[in-house]
Amino acid sequence: MSKKHITAVVNGDVSEFLSDPGTTLLDALRDELGLTGSKEGCGTGDCGACSVIVDGRLVCSCLMLAAEAEGKRIETIEGMAQDGVLHPLQQKFLEHAALQCGFCTPGLLVASRALLETNPDPTETEVRYWLAGNLCRCTGYDKVIRAVMDAAAEMRQVRRAS
Ligand code: FES
Ligand code: FES
């Protein structure tokens, strides 16, 4: 079966790759573009480890075909830090020790970013509900929730000051 040529904007850069018709976006990101931050925990849309943002929407990249990425704007964990400076969410995850093995962390960070971009002042319940699709077997979630709430507060403060 012939490969399809895909062009997408990945973390702000135009990227081109060849993909088999059945290849998932997750596999294309990892194997064709070398962006291995997105993880495959389940491959069935249940764990959130493969979360990416596609045209502003949070997506499980294991459930999306690479061919569907044609012309789309894709943001992955690799695009979160800018010019060597961690995103506030990344910084707060470190400060709150909101990770242990780290396997779920890229997905949690990308999902949290997607939340704060649409809801900069979420309640704790809203954060917990939003991240319910991101499974973590290590942290017990509390530190993650604290980190997201703290990052949201800091980002609001920066926005007010600017
Ligand atoms: Fe995609 Fe688990 S690997 S949701
Ligand atoms: Fe290990 Fe979340 S830190 S699965």
DSSP symbol at 65: B
- Residue 120 pLDDT more than 90? yes
Domain 4-77 coded CATH 3.40.50.1370:
no
CA quadruple 14, 15, 18, 21: dihedral sign? negative
For residue 137, the ligand closest to its alpha carbon is 2
Q: Are 73 and 57 in contact (CB under 8 A)?
A: no
Ligand 1 centre to CA of 63 (Å) is 8
Same fold, 4-77 and 88-161: no
**Model confidence over 127-146: pLDDT tens digits?**
999 999 999 999 999 999 99
What end-to-end distance do the CA atoms of the chain give, in Å?
A: 53
Q: 13-19 and 4-10: which strand pairing?
A: antiparallel
The residue extents of the domains of the chain are: 4-77, 88-161
Q: Are 35 and 110 in contact (CB under 8 A)?
A: no
Provide the whole-model pTM: 0.97
**Please, what is the average pLDDT of the chain?**
97
Ligand 1 atom, smallest distance to 47 CA: 2
Tell which CATH architecture fits domain 88-161: Orthogonal Bundle (1.10)
Distance CA 122, CA 30 (A): 32
